[in-house]
Amino acid sequence: PPPPPPDAAAADMAYAARAAALRIASHPPVTVKRSTFQAHVAPVASPADARAAVDCLLSHRRIAAATHNIMAYRIVDGVTGAVTADCDDDGEAAAGGRLAFMLGAAKVSGAVVIVSRWYGGILLGPARFGIINNTARDALVAEGFISGGAGGGGGSGKKR
């Protein structure tokens, strides 16, 4: 393929620098029935940190072009134990809430996870929620926010 235009290359470099500064880890995409899911994880200490990570990801043209960018974060104050959490479905009804529930069930603290979905033209039905959560969980395990357990990704938050 031809090299990207100079302005696109500069944008890619700016994105890479900003993502590195925010310590955003983007994990390999998973494709199921032509829909592609990719999880991105970053450490956060505040809602502003979570917003900065989301804004950074959305500045990347490929991620911004995703059909949905589902987000959830959870922060637990080390002194008071107060939980600060939020989520966004980005049009994938109930997906953000399910992602936030998974973060709580796994006792994740200090992380934002964004799952980008590129719709492939085949309806996945309720199975899409499992794919979104599993993609996010695998990334959270890889980044050390969830312990992997004996099964390499199962842990105590395993579904039925």
At 155 the pLDDT is 38
Angle at the Cα of 87 from the Cα atoms of 56 and 65, rounded to 5 degrees: 45
At 160 the pLDDT is 32
At 7 the pLDDT is 82
- pTM summary value: 0.87
What is the full per-residue pLDDT of the chain (160 aa) written as tens digits?
A: 666 566 888 888 899 999 999 999 999 999 999 999 999 999 999 999 999 999 999 999 999 999 999 999 999 999 999 999 999 999 999 999 999 999 999 999 999 999 999 999 999 999 999 999 999 999 999 999 998 754 333 333 333 3
Handedness of CA 95, 98, 35, 70 (dihedral sign): positive
Cβ-Cβ contacts under 8 Å for 37 (sequence gap 6 or more):
29, 30, 31, 115, 116, 117, 131, 132, 135
At 3 the pLDDT is 65
Query: What does DSSP assign to residue 11?
Result: H
